[in-house]
Amino acid sequence: MIKLAKPIISETIIDKVAEVLRSGNLVHGQYTRLFEDALQDYLSIENAIIVSSGTAALHLALMALHIQNGDEVIVPAFTFPATANVVENVGAKPILVDISLTDYCLDPKRIEGAITKNTKAIIVVHEFGLAADIGEIVKIAHTHNLYLIEDAACAIGTRFNDRPVGTFGTVGCFSFHPRKIITTGEGGAVVTNDKDLAEKINALRNHGLTQSGVTDFCYAGLNYRMTEFQAVMGYYQLSGLEDDIRMRIHLAKKYREYLSVFNWLRLPEQFENRRHIYQTFHIVLDSDINRGQFIALLKNHGIEANLGAQGLHLLPFYKNKYEYIAADFPQASLAFHHGVALPIGTHVTEADIDFIAETMDTIYQCLRN
């Protein structure tokens, strides 16, 4: 089976994890600090705070920015539910905005129409490791005096105008889930150039604990700390991140060479000023193709594929609470109902992509007939 994704954990990292476990120092030790310092260097950011998950990173960002009941936060209609769930969980209202099919990210042209007097923030998601049009979204946030939160869960290493995504907004959030290019099992990070905001997030992740001369608990915080044996995994994987990204970009190029001749699917577009890292290689099938059958037949041929992300307005919770219909966000509906995530990563070879492309064509011909 050609897996959709497969984390590669080196023997060196396994040995380092065992070393940490034997040390008995399992939380907030040297590797926590090393990983945070390495992230700051890699992203050219002043502050990086590692946490227990990408969802925790988003939740802490909203808490630190004092997003609360009565506030509204703009969220893309096509993304993983965690992006909107954290807004609900601080008592605010997620305001869904449709995406662009060029990059599966928030469409800047649709944002201003969703802004009201209650809007406090925009969450832009760099979906699948593809860079959103962050330059335009930054302008909108500044014009309307809104916080900008970058959900870069899938996008560590993605760049816009040669600058890392996650560093454009008020705060950036990353995930280190096993589907991500760097994994610590579960884990995440919050990054910001705002020192005061970083100090608050640092306290909130650790029960509200502050240490400015005297130890005290100044916030109603949470336990969102990352373990030391997770941090050591992240620290050593970060050093090989650029090699992994180069491989993914190469494999994405091969996918384009093979799939661009198929007029029954849509590929993500490329932009000269954006470096996509392709955490997922996502395509959109023509609407007359049965996506479920297509994925099942790929599996029968030893190829794992899946839907890419969720149309939030079509999930029971959001659909029922806000009475959405599919037509409210047509681009998100299309990506949700007809999108397919294909295998990519260092476990995939050029020969695998050749086989995947040939199999896809065979399946299409079969379904058409």
Q: How many CB atoms lie within 10 A of CB 214?
A: 6
CA 187 – CA 53 distance, rounded (Å): 4
Dump pLDDT digits (tens) for 347-356.
Answer: 999 999 999 9
Q: What is the mean pLDDT of residues 221-247?
A: 97
DSSP per residue, 224-286: -PPBHHHHHHHHHHHTTHHHHHHHHHHHHHHHHHHHTT-TTEEPPP--TTEE---SSEEEEE-
Question: Judging by DSSP bridges, how do beta strands 163-164 and 171-175 pair with one another?
Answer: unpaired
Establish if 214 belongs to a structural domain: yes
Measured CA angle at 228 (ends 224, 231), to 5 deg: 85
* Same-domain pairing of 95 and 210: yes
Reply yes or no on whether the pLDDT at 147 is more than 90: yes
Quick one: which H or E segment has residue 191?
Answer: strand 188-192
Establish if 3 belongs to a structural domain: no
pLDDT of residue 216: 87
* Same-domain pairing of 105 and 224: yes
pLDDT of residue 123: 99
* Same-domain pairing of 45 and 80: yes
pLDDT of residue 116: 98
Task: Give the end of a domain, one of 198, 221, 238.
Answer: 238
pLDDT of residue 301: 97
Establish if 359 belongs to a structural domain: yes
* Same-domain pairing of 109 and 225: yes
Dump pLDDT digits (tens) for 87-100.
Answer: 999 999 999 999 99
* Same-domain pairing of 47 and 120: yes
Dump pLDDT digits (tens) for 163-174.
Answer: 999 999 999 999
* Same-domain pairing of 229 and 262: no
Reply yes or no on whether the pLDDT at 211 is more than 90: no
pLDDT of residue 334: 97
Reply yes or no on whether the pLDDT at 155 is more than 80: yes
Task: Give the end of a domain, one of 195, 214, 238.
Answer: 238
Q: What is the mean pLDDT of residues 204-210?
A: 93
* Same-domain pairing of 190 and 211: yes
Establish if 5 belongs to a structural domain: no
CA 205 – CA 60 distance, rounded (Å): 7
* Same-domain pairing of 124 and 219: yes
* Same-domain pairing of 321 and 253: yes
Reply yes or no on whether the pLDDT at 235 is more than 90: yes
Q: What is the mean pLDDT of residues 73-97?
A: 98
The CATH code of the domain that includes 174 is: 3.40.640.10
The CATH code of the domain that includes 315 is: 3.90.1150.10
Dump pLDDT digits (tens) for 40-65.
Answer: 999 999 999 999 999 999 999 999 99
- The residues pairing with 175 across neighbouring beta strands, listed in sequence order, are 188
* Same-domain pairing of 333 and 206: no
Reply yes or no on whether the pLDDT at 212 is more than 80: no
Establish if 1 belongs to a structural domain: no
CA 204 – CA 184 distance, rounded (Å): 21
Question: Judging by DSSP bridges, how do beta strands 310-311 and 78-79 pair with one another?
Answer: antiparallel
Number of domains in the chain: 2
* Same-domain pairing of 138 and 246: no
Token couple for 315: 């999930």
Average per-residue pLDDT for the chain: 97
Dump pLDDT digits (tens) for 252-308.
Answer: 999 999 999 999 999 999 999 999 999 999 999 999 999 999 999 999 999 999 999
Task: Give the end of a domain, one of 203, 238, 273.
Answer: 238
Establish if 2 belongs to a structural domain: no
Q: How many CB atoms lie within 10 A of CB 144?
A: 12
Establish if 4 belongs to a structural domain: no
pLDDT of residue 285: 98
Dump pLDDT digits (tens) for 118-143.
Answer: 999 999 999 999 999 999 999 999 99
Encoded amino acid at 96, one letter: L
Reply yes or no on whether the pLDDT at 214 is more than 80: no
Q: Which domain holds residue 218?
A: 11-238
* Same-domain pairing of 137 and 203: yes
Establish if 138 belongs to a structural domain: yes
Dump pLDDT digits (tens) for 23-35.
Answer: 999 998 899 999 9
